[in-house]
Amino acid sequence: MERVGSVLVVGGGVGGIQASLDLADSGFKVYLIDHRPSIGGGMAQLDKTFPTCDCSLCIESPKLVEASRHPNIDVLGYTELISVEGEAGNFIAKINKKSRYVDVDICNGCGACTAKCPVKGIPSEFDEGIGERRAIYIPFSQAVPNKATIDVEHCLVFTIGRNCKGCRKACTLDAIKLDMEDEEVDLRVGAVLFATGAVPYDPSDLTQYSPEHPDVLTAMQFERLMCANGPTGGHIKRLSDGEDPKRIAFIQCVGSRTPKKDIEYCSAVCCNYATKEAIITKEHSRDVDISIFYMDYRACGKGFEEFYKRGKEEYGINYIRSRASEVYQSNGNLVVKYEDLDEAQIKEEEFDMVILSVGLSQPKRTQDLLRKIGVNLNEFGMVETVMNHPVETNVPGIFVCGTAQGPKDIPETVAQSSGAAGKIGSLLSDARNTLTVKKELPPEKDVTGEEPRIGVFVCHCGINIGGVVDVPAVVEYVKTLPNVVYAADQPYTCSDDGNKQIFDKIHEFDLNRVVVAACTPRTHEPLFQATCAEAGLNPFLFEFANIREHCSWIHMDEKELATQKAKEVVRMSVAKARLLEPLERGEIPVNQKALVIGGGISGMSAALDLAAGGFPVCLVERSGELGGLLKHVTALPRGKDPRDILNETIKKVEENDLINVYLNSEVTSVSGSVGNFTAKILSHGKEDEIDFGVAILATGGDEFKPDGYYGYDGKRVITQLELEKIIDEIEANTIVMIQCVGSREEEPPRTYCSKICCTEAVKNAIRIKERNPKTEVFILYKDVRTYGINELLYRDARDKGVIFIRYTDEQKPVVNEYVEVYDEFIGQEIKIKPDLVVLSTPMVPNEDNDAVGKMFKVPLAPSNFFLEAHVKLRPVDFATDGVYLCGLAHGPKPIDECIAQASAAAGRASIPLSAGKVIAEAIVASVDEEKCVGCGVCEDKCAYLAVSIEDGKATVNRAMCKGCGTCVTACPTGAMEQLHFKNDQILAQVKHAFAW
């Protein structure tokens, strides 16, 4: 059957965007739809992200722009999916493009209409109802597409038929079309990916928490309150009276872990976002008191435990183990009533503000749609998947990623997105590059030796610039500058018409440099560069002058000085433009083979995915057999036998012709860079050399052997994995399990939470109980971290009579003949006589990581797990191109997450593999060998190891250089230059900065 080389991605949050980019980059046409006016999803609303407190929009917004500009991604905002019919490889998806009543081809997002709309005070969805918008609006300033939308529920024309012309008059482009209609379209696609996301739980029915009170906010509302682009400009204040709060309470597990049917699960992210919001609040003002009322603190993820600790120790946040039952008003303040679980007492405390840490729930509309299409959902409305296929739904060809499949954080979402993109890539691999377009460009004009002939285009941007800056005066001034052969003003340079003008004038005046004075290069430079390229001019002969964000918008009352500044800003750009040189975006050919290190479930899954995409793989395993750590696990939560999955996987790997397995082997050296690596493999005493284009590090991990902890002897005191082996034979009356043995410690390397041990212990406790309900099982814990739907296992274990006793670091249990533990809740020392003690110890990284990391020049975290390129958005990439990671090599995680990451790593690796080439950075460092004395300062300064001294001269590896220019600044002889930011180019700007 013929497969179609296009994909529909439903949902434009970070997951949908990442999947779209991955798919489009690997040769597929993508339709990315979102029912909201802009893509960006929940991440765009966040102020910061945990645990790094990175600015959320700053890291997401480049992806929005990239998606919107990608020639093979159609971003369709304000569009809904109606139905999907057909079969894997060939579906018809019916979508409805809802009418915005604004022609998106004309609207340029200037926002003039919004300012003139008389309907104010509509609660803004983007601000979670605590900010306002008008009836015609753009949800946020970085919206993509950046187009206005009329909300017919509020617009006076539609509601009361008034002939209001506010927006229509304000729009100088005539983009508002009140007679516009919805448009249904059939898309032919090979696969559909649901990245529909979850939404914050709506607490309005939990009246015990006074959710209607203006100072009781959901965490997402609080996020908007903290955010600089939120309704208060980032000023944290009470919405009731505008006062700065002095005492803030966070109540955890609101709308999760509740014995109400549809919200029994744990939402997995709330503990960490509460700590993040608390820390940021403290950073705004140190003297705010913050208390977090929680049941179990669940820091399940890389770096989260350390983050929690910072919250406690560095920021003095009070974490109160409790169950908050009520929030009520008293004398204008809020009182939180709670049961203190450490002291077993009911208490009350007053606060100025209360934040409800609400869980993630599945939007009803998405659930209905998914059911209609035939996708199985679980009892909570999440898409059901199986352990070894975490991104595949029951319908072949329909995939899922992100929180639609269950609560999870951003990196896990991103990993699943890349994983789903990888899987889709394999499914549709025959149809790769069949529907994608590539722009054909005319041959480039040779400008070497030519006198600069500069054309300058000054934009009015409606009234955005022209309303403040005297644009014609700027044009007149620019005409007097040397080498300027053409200068003109334009209403909107970015419009199609504006670009056409540039194109025409390049030909008419034989321009060899172009300057646009308008908005910011960060969003618009690629557009004008593309126009130059279409006119046969090297795109690096273009220069921007920012006279909007950096001038007209910030000097609105100083028109004369603003005009003067605009002249000087353009003058600086012209000065730089004079010295611009054409640059090559070189291509590096990619050897279409992969190396995977590690033959556990992660490495094998990655190898299989790569092979399914048609790429040969070398799989190197140090031990004598495939299977890794999973070999020792005898049951999975919810009953399945992992050995079935494992054996099936091993068989597939062994039978696959494209996978070459090296057992009892290790990699001893690596050279080269993305596209062209060479490695030596030591196998049975002899060395082999292999070439490959990309590598995946799936080095796995092991269970920590707790020698010296609680009398561990491997017989009466054993580990969970040792228990797995004997669990079906043990005869014991009493078993005690102790959690966090050797993890969450004070000092590195094991300061982390190992994420899976609580679930592992609870799972084994249930198995024991199911075999013999009479066996008494005690679990001694610090926090029960059965996150996500594993929460149900915890409940099940309690129902089956497993006894949970909390211990603290101050009073750890003592194991002798008896196990003694102090139970805070009943305030008593408890003595248990066990037949068996089981220690829950953490996953520890492979000891080879250090050596492997050095060979590939990739870093390790303090825990000795590998450190990815970006903890949020690049979970399976390294900063070094062409090298990826997955599974336990990245950090402790359960099997389904390992497999999702494996698919993600394979998917990411398939991008350069399928393209057969990578585009090299154009703005890189370059060396003047005449001047270079080989001192090596540059080599030391390069964070990417792209510079080395060879034969006494600095050499830049173009494939590795990212173009920051740091080495250039360090060079004492002036031998190093950063292309496009050369010393003389910047000095020219400096010189022309101020006209006297």
Contact residues: other proteins, CB under 8 A:
47, 52, 54-55, 57-58, 61, 141, 227-229, 233-234, 520-522, 546, 548-551, 553-558, 561-562, 564-565, 568-569, 572, 879, 923, 941, 943-944, 962-966, 968-970, 978, 981, 983, 986-987, 989-991, 993-994, 996
- Residue 357 or residue 546: which is nearer to other proteins going by CB? 546
Compute the least distance from the CB of residue 925 to other proteins, in Å.
Answer: 10
Compute the least distance from the CB of residue 575 to other proteins, in Å.
Answer: 11
- Residue 837 or residue 947: which is nearer to other proteins going by CB? 947
- Residue 479 or residue 991: which is nearer to other proteins going by CB? 991
Going 876 to 266 to 303 to 724, the CA torsion angle's sign is negative
- Nearest 5°: phi and psi at 521? -60, -25
Query: Which helix H or strand E contains 188, and what residues bound it?
Result: strand 183-189
Compute the least distance from the CB of residue 317 to other proteins, in Å.
Answer: 21
Judge whether 91 and 393 are in contact, CB under 8 Å.
Answer: no
Judge whether 931 and 906 are in contact, CB under 8 Å.
Answer: no
Compute the least distance from the CB of residue 867 to other proteins, in Å.
Answer: 11
- Residue 614 or residue 859: which is nearer to other proteins going by CB? 859
Dihedral Cα 889, 59, 301, 354, nearest 10 deg: 180
Count of H helices and E strands in the chain?
Answer: 24, 51
The two three-digit tokens of residue 917, written as one number = 């080439």
Compute the least distance from the CB of residue 947 to other proteins, in Å.
Answer: 13
Query: Which helix H or strand E contains 720, and what residues bound it?
Result: helix 720-726
- Residue 283 or residue 809: which is nearer to other proteins going by CB? 283
Compute the least distance from the CB of residue 992 to other proteins, in Å.
Answer: 9
Q: Which of 52, 16, 308 lies closest to 868, judged by CA?
A: 52
Going 624 to 626 to 630 to 634, the CA torsion angle's sign is negative
Compute the least distance from the CB of residue 214 to other proteins, in Å.
Answer: 24
Judge whether 451 and 439 are in contact, CB under 8 Å.
Answer: no
Contacting residues for 229 by C-beta, under 8 A, at least 6 apart: 57, 140, 141
Judge whether 237 and 144 are in contact, CB under 8 Å.
Answer: no
Distance CA 394, CA 362 (A): 18
DSSP conformational letter for 826: T
Q: Which of 266, 281, 280, 272 lies closest to 303, judged by CA?
A: 272
Distance CA 358, CA 200 (A): 6
Compute the least distance from the CB of residue 138 to other proteins, in Å.
Answer: 11
Compute the least distance from the CB of residue 67 to other proteins, in Å.
Answer: 18
Q: What angle do CA 780, 781, 785 make, to 5 degrees?
A: 140
The two three-digit tokens of residue 88, written as one number = 């894997």
Q: Give residue for tokens 């993305």.
A: 674
- Residue 214 or residue 974: which is nearer to other proteins going by CB? 974
Distance CA 344, CA 349 (A): 16
Instruction: Using DSSP bridges, classify how beta strands 617-620 and 659-662 pair: parallel, antiparallel or unpaired.
Output: parallel
Output the CA–CA distances (angstroms, integers) from residue 523 to 65, 529, 549, 552, in the order listed.
Answer: 7, 12, 12, 17
- Residue 346 or residue 990: which is nearer to other proteins going by CB? 990
- Residue 138 or residue 723: which is nearer to other proteins going by CB? 138
Residue type, 855: M
The two three-digit tokens of residue 703, written as one number = 């269970």
210: left (phi over 0), alpha (psi -120 to 50) or beta: left
Distance CA 126, CA 138 (A): 10
Compute the least distance from the CB of residue 683 to other proteins, in Å.
Answer: 35
Compute the least distance from the CB of residue 555 to other proteins, in Å.
Answer: 5
The two three-digit tokens of residue 167, written as one number = 């927006």
Compute the least distance from the CB of residue 926 to other proteins, in Å.
Answer: 14
- Residue 615 or residue 944: which is nearer to other proteins going by CB? 944
- Residue 546 or residue 602: which is nearer to other proteins going by CB? 546
- Residue 453 or residue 550: which is nearer to other proteins going by CB? 550
- Residue 509 or residue 994: which is nearer to other proteins going by CB? 994
Q: Is 676 exposed, middle or buried (0-12, 13-18, 19+ CB in 10 A)?
A: middle
Compute the least distance from the CB of residue 964 to other proteins, in Å.
Answer: 4
Compute the least distance from the CB of residue 117 to other proteins, in Å.
Answer: 18
- Residue 468 or residue 612: which is nearer to other proteins going by CB? 468
- Residue 47 or residue 881: which is nearer to other proteins going by CB? 47
Compute the least distance from the CB of residue 147 to other proteins, in Å.
Answer: 16
**Diameter of the chain measured on Cα atoms:** 95
CB-based burial, 516-525: b 16+ in 10 Å, e otherwise:
bbbbebebbb
Compute the least distance from the CB of residue 568 to other proteins, in Å.
Answer: 6
- Residue 150 or residue 572: which is nearer to other proteins going by CB? 572
- Residue 325 or residue 983: which is nearer to other proteins going by CB? 983
DSSP conformational letter for 548: I
Distance CA 652, CA 671 (A): 30
Q: How far is CA 239 from the centre of its chain?
A: 31
